[in-house]
Amino acid sequence: MIVNQFLVLAALLFSIGIYGVLVRRNAVLVLLSVELMLTAVNINLVAFGAFLQDELLAGQVFALFVIAVAAAEVGIGLAIVVLIFRNRSSANIDELNLLKW
């Protein structure tokens, strides 16, 4: 088995995610981009786990934990976004300019 194409896919997904985080203005879309990055991590982990034929399955176990934690993070993130939306009726992060320097 070769692992390269999985790594390239993961690297691409990760880069798309980073791009989304830097460019997107809506907080929900930034959150989605972060999820994309975490997906890239999962692909990496599972691909490496299969490639290394790790009998402890550490890669897959790690991926499961990443999935669970990512869900928890989405929960927290959406709660914060909804909170902001209620107070300002906008979820654009470049309108968050009360705190600087």
Stated as kind and residue range, the H or E segment containing 100 is: none
Q: Is 67 in the site for other proteins (CB under 8 A)?
A: yes
Identify which of residues 17 and 23 has a Cβ nearer to other proteins in the complex. 17
Q: Is 12 in the site for other proteins (CB under 8 A)?
A: no
Site string for other proteins, 13-52 (x = CB under 8 A): -x--x---x-----x--xx--x--xx-xx--xx-xx--xx
Identify which of residues 23 and 69 has a Cβ nearer to other proteins in the complex. 69
Supply the minimum distance, in Å, between the C-beta of residue 76 and other proteins: 5
Supply the minimum distance, in Å, between the C-beta of residue 73 and other proteins: 5
Instruction: State how far the Cα of 25 lies from the Cα of 68, in Å rounded to an integer.
Output: 26
Report the chain's terminal Cα–Cα distance, integer Å. Answer: 52
Burial classification of residue 44, based on how many CB atoms lie within 10 Å of its CB (0-12 exposed, 13-18 middle, 19 or more buried): buried
Instruction: State how far the Cα of 69 lies from the Cα of 32, in Å rounded to an integer.
Output: 15
User: What does the block give as tokens for 15?
Assistant: 């880069």
**Member of 8, 32, 62, 89 binding other proteins (CB under 8 A):** 62
What lies within 8 Å, CB to CB, of 66 at 6+ separation is 38, 41, 42, 45
Provide the binding-site residues for other proteins, judged by CB under 8 A: 1-3, 7, 10, 14, 17, 21, 27, 30-31, 34, 37-38, 40-41, 44-45, 47-48, 51-52, 54, 58-62, 64-69, 71-85, 87-88, 93, 96, 98-101
